[in-house]
Amino acid sequence: MSFVLVRWLVLLGLTLYQAIACWQEDRQPVPGQKIDVGGYSLHYVVAGSGSPTLVLDHSLGGIEGYFLIEQLAKRSRVVIYDRAGYGWSDRSPRPRTSQHIVDELEALLVAAKIEPPYILLGDSFGSYNTRLYAHCYPHKVVGLILVDGLHETGMLKMSVVLRSLQLFFASGFVMSVLGALLGIIRLLQKIGMFEVLKPGLRQFSHRTRRAVKRSFSRPKHWITMAQEISGLDKSGRQMQQADNLGNLPIVTVKAKSFFLPSFFTLLMPLKAANRLRDRMHDELAKLSTHHTQIKADQSGHFVWIDQPEMIVRAVQELLPREHDS
């Protein structure tokens, strides 16, 4: 009985700690700005100067663009925004599929008076959103960077094994909502578990890591992840209209493997995942007659952490040559 009581007291303490920590964080000034896009607000940060403007869209559940904002801002103006439900952005009442996300991004750019031309940079799921934006607003986009991007041809025809892996991740996101509510995610963050799982995070400043990890401690983050992964098929069907981008300059960054082999990936179907990734990159190369591929040979799917210099290189490929000086 005493053990049960101690367990409940620990959970109560963690929950109170989570509530107090969120309250304290919410009292701090928001970095960047928030802007209304129709009854809810999206958060964005603008850094650097120059044209065209780099607009970053993150992976499913990620807000990894903050890791490179200082480096990219040395090269041109950069806009990083948190999709609805992540970071400092409000949750959206609209489904978390690519077309709605594109509509929200356009509303943000217009309301914030961030003028084109744009180079769009999309990581993983963000590649869906940026590619669809380029299709919907071709007169505003002068380049596209897809970091280990997705392609609907492969995603909509995943094998049973990979579909099971997707369901496993989705269930983990749902369970993590409870973990965030109870303060367990925040505790794992405080003891450095994120850095244990991904040692490459240590290359970034504590301030930058804290800003990124803050989002993962919030239940809305995991709710949004679950919504986005459950809507992947619908997003994929929406992408079928964006299968030909003419001669738009596109740079794709291809990681060596979807997951880098480790103790944590022993039971994952790495070969099947990599075959799917290879097929998707073959399809991405057909999107434009002006395509360049950069290989991140030391990286897993999280190129932003494993080989961030390859993303900087991809950006440099598309910037006008005067930016090189």
Average pLDDT over residues 163-173: 91
How far is C-alpha 81 from the chain's CA centre?
Answer: 10
Per-residue model confidence as pLDDT tens digits over 10-19: 778 888 988 9
Question: Can you give the pLDDT at residue 325?
Answer: 46
pLDDT tens digits, residue range 21-77? 899 988 989 999 999 999 999 999 999 999 999 999 999 988 888 899 999 999 999
CATH number for domain 31-324, candidates 3.40.50.1820, 3.30.70.100, 3.30.750.200, 3.40.50.10860: 3.40.50.1820
| C-alpha neighbours within 13 Å on the C-beta side of residue 255 | 26
Give residue limits of the domains in the chain. Answer: 1-30, 31-324
* Higher-scoring residue by pLDDT: 125, 194: 125
pLDDT tens-digit readout, 259-314: 877 766 667 788 899 999 999 999 999 999 999 999 999 999 999 999 999 999 99
Other beta carbons within 10 Å of 267: 6
Q: Average the pLDDT over 234-256 and give the result.
A: 96
How confident is the prediction for the chain on average, in pLDDT? 91
Q: Is the pLDDT assigned to residue 1 strictly greater than 60?
A: no
The model's pTM is 0.93
Confidence of residue 323 (pLDDT cuts 50, 70, 90): low
Q: What is the pLDDT of residue 79?
A: 97
Burial 91-105 (b: 16+ CB within 10 A, else e): ebeeebbbbbbbbbb
Q: Which amino acid is at 235?
A: S
Statement: residue 321 has pLDDT above 80: no
CA distance 297 to 274: 13
- Give Cβ neighbours of residue 134 (< 8 Å, ≥ 6 apart): 120, 141, 144, 242, 245, 248
Q: How far apart are CA 162 and CA 233, in angstroms?
A: 13
Percent of the chain topping pLDDT 90: 72
